[in-house]
């Protein structure tokens, strides 16, 4: 019986989220304090925006034994997206970002997804993707 030993990589973009969320909260307070001065409106909108931001952010990436890249959100428990490695056609490397182009069976045009990784994790991820699918074009 084979165990699922997925390789996990942390999202580097979380720092911007933790900096941006307090700024967004202050902007919401000022904006809705001017438009709708009701305290319940302001509080409910702030709570909703914080929860939507926390639940939608990608926490980590995983390379699984099933040859997929999986994107986990909601504190790493809920799978948000799964991309088959054999469908990846191109990887564009930018500082701290990997832009991956892939195509599913239903797609006419290729889709793109961005992974935000540290330099060491990026090198490991690219090497692993190239060993699993040597047809990937790296640019």
pLDDT score recorded for residue 137: 92
Torsion angle of alpha carbons 52, 53, 56, 60, nearest 10°? Answer: -150
Max Cα–Cα distance, the chain, nearest Å:
62
Average pLDDT over residues 52-56: 60
pLDDT score recorded for residue 1: 41
Per-residue pLDDT of 67-114, as tens digits, reads: 899 888 766 566 778 899 999 999 999 988 889 999 887 777 888 888
**Per-residue pLDDT at 127 exceeds 90:** yes
**Cα–Cα dist 29/55, whole Å:** 21
pLDDT bracket for residue 42 (50, 70, 90)? low
Q: pTM for the complete prediction? A: 0.67
Q: What share of the chain is helix, strand, coil (3-state, %, to 5)?
A: 40, 30, 25
Average pLDDT over residues 33-43: 68
């Amino acid at each position: 019986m084979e165990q699922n030993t997925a390789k996990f990589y942390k999202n580097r973009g979380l720092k911007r989220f933790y900096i941006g969320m307090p700024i967004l909260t202050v902007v919401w307070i000022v904006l809705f304090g001017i438009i709708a001065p009701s305290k319940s409106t302001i509080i409910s909108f702030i709570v909703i925006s914080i929860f939507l931001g926390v639940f939608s952010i990608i926490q980590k990436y995983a390379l699984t034994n099933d040859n997929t890249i999986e994107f986990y959100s909601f504190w790493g428990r809920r799978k948000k997206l799964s991309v088959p490695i054999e469908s990846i056609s191109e990887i564009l490397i930018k500082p701290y970002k990997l832009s991956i182009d892939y195509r599913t069976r239903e797609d006419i045009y290729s889709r793109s997804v961005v992974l935000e990784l540290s330099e060491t994790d990026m090198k490991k991820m690219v090497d692993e993707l190239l060993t699993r699918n040597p047809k990937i074009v790296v640019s």
